[in-house]
Chains A and B, each alone.
Chain A
Amino acid sequence: MNAVIKLDDIRKTYHTGEVDVQAVRKVSLEIHPGEFVAIMGASGSGKSTLMNILGCLDRPTGGRYSLDGIDVSQLSTDELADIRNQKIGFVFQGFNLLSRTSALENVELPMLYARQHMHSYELREKALHALGVVSLTDRADHHPSQLSGGQQQRVAIARALVNQPALVLADEPTGNLDSRTSVEIMGVFQQLNDRGITIVMVTHEPDIARFTKRSVVMSDGHVVSDTPVTDRLFAGPELERLHSLLDPALQTQ
């Protein structure tokens, strides 16, 4: 099978003042359909820069990046926007939902910028379906401020899924959530991954990375380790464990 992501010698250099900062130096990486990858690293390791390149928000200074069989390293800004729209679903640390806009409309947003026009009932139908995948259909008309952090992040995941992208990119998706909700969200990602959706996630928390299948560690702009996750955690049992820890009364029964 063809790789979803294929990086060849990707480099990114920032020209800030007189010093050139090499944020990413010669990274080569292949991610195949159905993988669930965590990109780890301390801040300044280049993982965010790599994430921006993977998300087609930024262009590499050198090297080749092909996404779902398309060479995207030399595309124009507008072409990249179309790639983001069609091929990538984003999940951010800060949720990044439009405030004062209902969950449903937030999920509809990527479809508004799709190349092909859709009728409003079609938009609604697809958005409701995506909300169903993250089990939030009953909150479709709520605004972000009326939703908990975990619910907001699930709306964001629904938004990421709605255009059926080749890749879901999550940037510290649990960074703003408490540990229990983090596990819930990882559970959602695991479910999606079980359905065959390719997920790449940036995180600095080793515990969260254990929910994935493969862990790529970056340091100083290089990939320093790329290993399968051996002691993998699963959201279901982990939630039960947390539950019992928080409620000792339940344990004694």
Chain B
Amino acid sequence: MRILVTIKTALRALRRNKMRSVLTALGIIIGVGAVITMVGIGNGAKAQIEAQIASLGQNVILIFSGSVTRTGVHSGHGGAGTLTVEDAEAMRREIPGVMAVSPELRSAAQVAAGNQNWLPQILGEGPDYFDIRQWPLVEGSPFTPLDVRGATKVAVIGKTTAQQLYGDESPIGQIVRIKNVPFTIVGLLSSKGLSVMGSDQDDVLVVPYTSAMKRVLGTTTLRSIMVQAADAKLLPVVQQQITELLRQRHRIQPGRDDDFTVRGQQDIAEMATAQSKTMTILLGAIASVSLIVGGIGIMNIMLVSVTERTREIGIRMAVGAHANDILLQFLTEAITLSSIGGVIGIAMGVGASKIISLSLDWPTLIPVVWVVVAFLFSAAVGIFFGFYPARKASKLDPIDALRYE
């Protein structure tokens, strides 16, 4: 067919000017490569955040104490100490969708063991905490409801804290002094890595919330309550019921603000992914600019090529080429340049992401869809920027073109 001949002609013209073809394609290679790399980094970050959010546990609702404005000063989450252990127990008792509840306290405190000391997060939690967060122990056992009732001085230690205090030794049975109060370590947690906000989740000492209240912090109120709903579908209902229950218990008049904040896992996830999405879009937009610059490079070279080959166009027209044959020939050249550039660019982008993954330890993820999109987009760049020069070539008058010097 004529089309095949035209394509062959176009490919030959590209081969004839190898250096020029390579340099022209380089614009697209860099553009597509940059897009793929940026998307890889953005998506990698997003996937990591999603994994971290999943590590929070399933169907988790967090209720923070506070969010009260007293004399104009906003106290922030947990600042006012409006939640009590009774609130937590009421939730467990009165809301059927609630599967597990853990009252929470949290404080950074200096701890010491032997001649080592460290500043981990001290978490006061209920015994359900480990189940809610799907956080298994690698050694020992968690504390029990009995420990909570008796406010016993037992602790479960995180990987990082254990490493800091005891090195490679087993922490089980060791004594750790929290604010000079000696606690016996009964369990060692598995590693959970970084949190959504980037803090080390393994740098913790988990103690019964009663022990934290009475023996470490000397407080009667909670920072927060962690609730696990029985089913993801129940989350909005449970969230609503918790709000109603707490408003009733805290005797808040209708129209007044809550003195607590209820946050579903979904809210937290949305917040975090919104950030990474913004980053991906921003990076992608910057990379797209270089792709457009590459396209302009193609247009530039194609215009030069049309001028240079005016006589050739004239000859082809004289021996019977239609305007469309000429259009197709030059368009094919442009599309070939851009799509070959696209393929190489994709390969380079994937390679660059791998290198970034390995050398900087950043997770990268390139979805197949993006590879396809990048390829189609590079081909589209060829069509878009190649059309004008090709049309210019096809509009030449054979008489003038043949006379062109």
The finding on whether chains A and B are genuine partners in a shared complex, rather than unrelated, reads yes
- Spell out A's residues near B (CB within 8 Å): 52, 55, 57-58, 77-78, 81-82, 84-86, 90, 92, 96-98, 100, 109-110, 112-114, 117, 159
Which residues of chain B are within 8 angstroms of A92 by Cβ–Cβ distance?
402
Q: Beyond A57-B399, A113-B2, A117-B1, is A96–B323 a contact (Cβ under 8 Å)?
A: no
Q: Which of B311, B315, B319, B402 contacts A85 (CB 8 A)?
A: B319
Which residues of chain A are within 8 angstroms of B1 by Cβ–Cβ distance?
117
Complex CA–CA separation, A86 to B319 (angstroms): 9
Is B314 among interface residues, defined by CB-CB distance under 8 A? yes
Complex CA–CA separation, A84 to B5 (angstroms): 19
Which residues of chain B are within 8 angstroms of A117 by Cβ–Cβ distance?
1-2
Q: Which of B222-252 contact A (CB under 8 A)?
A: none
B399, A52: Cβ atoms under 8 Å? yes
Is B358 among interface residues, defined by CB-CB distance under 8 A? no
Q: Which of A96, A98, A100, A110 contacts B320 (CB 8 A)?
A: A110
B314, A96: Cβ atoms under 8 Å? yes
- Nearest B residue (CB) for A87: B320
Complex CA–CA separation, A55 to B315 (angstroms): 13
A81, B16: Cβ atoms under 8 Å? no
B320, A113: Cβ atoms under 8 Å? yes
Is B268 among interface residues, defined by CB-CB distance under 8 A? no
**CB 8 Å contact bits of B295-310 with A (1 = contact, 0 = none):** 0000000000000000
Q: Beyond A96-B314, A100-B16, A117-B1, is A85–B320 a contact (Cβ under 8 Å)?
A: yes
Q: Beyond A96-B315, A98-B315, A109-B315, is A114–B399 a contact (Cβ under 8 Å)?
A: no
Q: By DSSP majority rule, is chain B's interface helix, strand, loop, or mixed?
A: helix
Is B147 among interface residues, defined by CB-CB distance under 8 A? no
Contacts A/B (CB < 8 Å), 26 sampled: A57-B318, A57-B398, A77-B322, A77-B323, A78-B322, A78-B323, A78-B324, A81-B323, A84-B318, A84-B319, A84-B320, A86-B320, A96-B311, A96-B314, A96-B402, A98-B312, A98-B315, A100-B16, A109-B315, A112-B2, A112-B5, A112-B9, A113-B2, A113-B316, A114-B320, A117-B2
B9, B312, B318, B399 — most chain A CB neighbours (10 Å) = B318
- Nearest A residue (CB) for B17: A100
Is B105 among interface residues, defined by CB-CB distance under 8 A? no
Q: Which of B303-347 contact A (CB under 8 A)?
A: 311-312, 314-325
Complex CA–CA separation, A131 to B4 (angstroms): 25
**Separation in Å of the B57 CB from the closest CB of chain A?**
68
Which residues of chain A are within 8 angstroms of B5 by Cβ–Cβ distance?
112
Complex CA–CA separation, A90 to B318 (angstroms): 8
Interface size range on B against A: 20 to 34
**Separation in Å of the B2 CB from the closest CB of chain A?**
7
Complex CA–CA separation, A84 to B312 (angstroms): 16
**CB 8 Å contact bits of B116-157 with A (1 = contact, 0 = none):** 000000000000000000000000000000000000000000
Complex CA–CA separation, A92 to B315 (angstroms): 10
Which residues of chain A are within 8 angstroms of B322 by Cβ–Cβ distance?
77-78, 81-82, 113
B319, A159: Cβ atoms under 8 Å? yes
Complex CA–CA separation, A146 to B268 (angstroms): 75
B402, A113: Cβ atoms under 8 Å? no
Complex CA–CA separation, A200 to B80 (angstroms): 105
Extra 17 A-B pairs, beta carbons < 8 Å, given A81-B317, A110-B320:
A58-B399, A77-B322, A77-B323, A78-B322, A81-B322, A84-B318, A85-B319, A85-B320, A90-B319, A96-B402, A98-B315, A109-B319, A113-B316, A113-B320, A113-B322, A117-B2, A159-B319
Q: Which of B1-22 contact A (CB under 8 A)?
A: 1-2, 5, 9, 16
Complex CA–CA separation, A159 to B325 (angstroms): 19
**Separation in Å of the B395 CB from the closest CB of chain A?**
10
Which residues of chain B are within 8 angstroms of A112 by Cβ–Cβ distance?
2, 5, 9
B1, B314, B315 — most chain A CB neighbours (10 Å) = B315
Q: Which of A55, A57, A86, A109 contacts B316 (CB 8 A)?
A: A109
Which residues of chain A are within 8 angstroms of B2 by Cβ–Cβ distance?
112-113, 117
Which residues of chain A are within 8 angstroms of B318 by Cβ–Cβ distance?
55, 57, 84, 90, 96
Q: Which of A58, A77, A100, A110 contacts B319 (CB 8 A)?
A: A110
Complex CA–CA separation, A84 to B314 (angstroms): 13
Complex CA–CA separation, A113 to B315 (angstroms): 12
Complex CA–CA separation, A46 to B315 (angstroms): 22
- Nearest B residue (CB) for A159: B319
Which 5 A-B residue pairings sit nearest by Cβ, starting from the closest? A85-B320, A113-B320, A110-B319, A112-B5, A78-B322
A81, B320: Cβ atoms under 8 Å? yes
**Separation in Å of the B232 CB from the closest CB of chain A?**
63
Complex CA–CA separation, A113 to B324 (angstroms): 11
A113, B399: Cβ atoms under 8 Å? no
**Separation in Å of the B312 CB from the closest CB of chain A?**
6
B318, B320, B402 — most chain A CB neighbours (10 Å) = B320
- Nearest A residue (CB) for B319: A110
Which residues of chain A are within 8 angstroms of B312 by Cβ–Cβ distance?
98
- Nearest B residue (CB) for A86: B320
Which residues of chain A are within 8 angstroms of B317 by Cβ–Cβ distance?
81
**Separation in Å of the A78 CB from the closest CB of chain B?**
5
- Nearest B residue (CB) for A96: B315
- Nearest B residue (CB) for A77: B323
Complex CA–CA separation, A57 to B1 (angstroms): 25
Which residues of chain A are within 8 angstroms of B398 by Cβ–Cβ distance?
57
**CB 8 Å contact bits of B275-304 with A (1 = contact, 0 = none):** 000000000000000000000000000000
Complex CA–CA separation, A206 to B59 (angstroms): 101
Complex CA–CA separation, A82 to B322 (angstroms): 8
- Nearest B residue (CB) for A110: B319
- Nearest B residue (CB) for A89: B319
Which residues of chain B are within 8 angstroms of A55 by Cβ–Cβ distance?
318
